[in-house]
Amino acid sequence: MPAPPLTRWVRTIRPQDVVWVLLFFLLALVSDDGDVSLDLMLAGLAAVQVMESKVAALSSTRGRILGLVLKLAISFLLIGYTGGIESRYWLVLLLPVVSAATAFGIVGTMAVALLAGVTYLSFLSFVDLARYEVDFTGLVARVIFLAMIGNLANALAGDLRTQSREARRAADQLAAANRQLQQAEEAVRRSDRLAALGQLSAGLAHELRNPLGTIRGSAEMLGRNLSAENEVAREVAGFISTEVDRANSLITRFLQFARPLEIRPEISDLGQTLDRAVAMVEREAPGIAIYRNYAPEIPSFLFDAELMERVFYNLVLNAAQASPAGGAVTVKTRAADGIAEVAVIDRGAGIDPKHRDAIFNPFFTTKPNGVGLGLAIVAKIVDEHGGKIAVESEPAKGSVFRVLLPMTR
């Protein structure tokens, strides 16, 4: 439940805001002689100083310049109202100078300090120099004092900005390291699951192969020995053979998943491997347009072309199946820091966020006739190559599967 507007505003109050209000209150209290105009000008300065960090319009460069102009204008009125060149309030000109030092560089700070000095010295035009003696040395010293304070404030603000950038950079590095650690932990957990389920699948597949062979042979013999008139029995025998073939295909996939992969890396061309995978998908999904955007700077490098072809075939086929009729899939490659990246992009229904962490798990599938081993095998092959696979998806907008392969082994 969002906080009320008043509560959100109160949370934006900083300790320095309280200090500013207290200082201006004491200034008005010390000089209080019942002059309402003086109190209003001090209140206006306090309001601009405090609200410039609260109002979004004053946080931009244009807004900060507007804030400086307002402070200079109110300071000019205050000094002129309280005696001009002899006013004891000339120090309020430090407000725009210090504000410029915290928001702009040394050039901007010196420009505002010069403008503040000119603003102050402009009151000399109201003095009859023939009748009154003016301490020009003191006036110049005050202007130099404004510039000195601006320079010191700018140096301190520069140090703070540098420290802030370093802190943000360190935070970004920690966040990136944390993401990499989470990905590594997930890869380890996935490998453990693959190993355990692989052993189970291998044992189960070997135990099922023999009885399935017997069933299929019996169904074929039954079909040959049935009379031509017994059409129903012949059809049932055909169903048995078909389902046995389907079960055998499933067992073969179990064995592919369970069998330790033997990577045979050779110098291969990534684009040609992708072309072979894409060509197979184009034959199976003729209604989907597949666009290729390969980076020409990727050289041939060591990888198992046969296994990686299986990886890309699965990813492109999944993207085609997720795309609407007449849709498009994009296969894009790029090279960065010794890594070859292959991105398979579709514009389909996307992946439900609650399923995103489970799609590489064995036997997880959302397809009615799926087994849930395709992406598990894909992840296993990529892991064996020392690479990474990641997915980005947004419901109703599509998915992007990225395969990252090291080009040096």
**Structure confidence at residue 228 (pLDDT):** 65
**Residue 398 predicted with pLDDT over 80:** yes
**Residue 276 predicted with pLDDT over 90:** yes
Same fold, 178-258 and 266-406: no
Query: Is the domain defined by 266-406 classed in CATH 3.40.630.10?
Result: no
**Residue 314 predicted with pLDDT over 60:** yes
**Structure confidence at residue 392 (pLDDT):** 93
Token readout for 381 is 């092959």
**Residue 7 predicted with pLDDT over 60:** no
Q: Where are the domains of the chain?
A: 5-134, 178-258, 266-406
CA–CA separation, 170 and 174 (whole Å):
6
**pLDDT tens digit sequence for 124-144:** 888 777 777 777 888 888 888
**Structure confidence at residue 387 (pLDDT):** 93
CA–CA separation, 296 and 343 (whole Å):
15
**Residue 403 predicted with pLDDT over 90:** yes
**Structure confidence at residue 308 (pLDDT):** 95
Predicted confidence band at 107 (pLDDT cuts at 50, 70, 90)? Answer: confident
**Residue 328 predicted with pLDDT over 80:** yes
**Structure confidence at residue 30 (pLDDT):** 67
**Residue 163 predicted with pLDDT over 60:** yes
Average pLDDT over residues 84-104: 85
Predicted confidence band at 323 (pLDDT cuts at 50, 70, 90)? Answer: very high
CA–CA separation, 181 and 340 (whole Å):
21
**Structure confidence at residue 75 (pLDDT):** 87
**Of the candidate ranges 77-91, 131-145, 168-182, 187-201, the one whose mean pLDDT is the lowest:** 187-201
Domain boundaries 178-258, CATH class: mainly alpha
Whether 226 and 237 have beta carbons less than 8 Å apart is answered as yes
CA–CA separation, 354 and 186 (whole Å):
16
Token readout for 393 is 């998806």
**Structure confidence at residue 205 (pLDDT):** 67
- What pTM was estimated for this model as a whole? 0.48
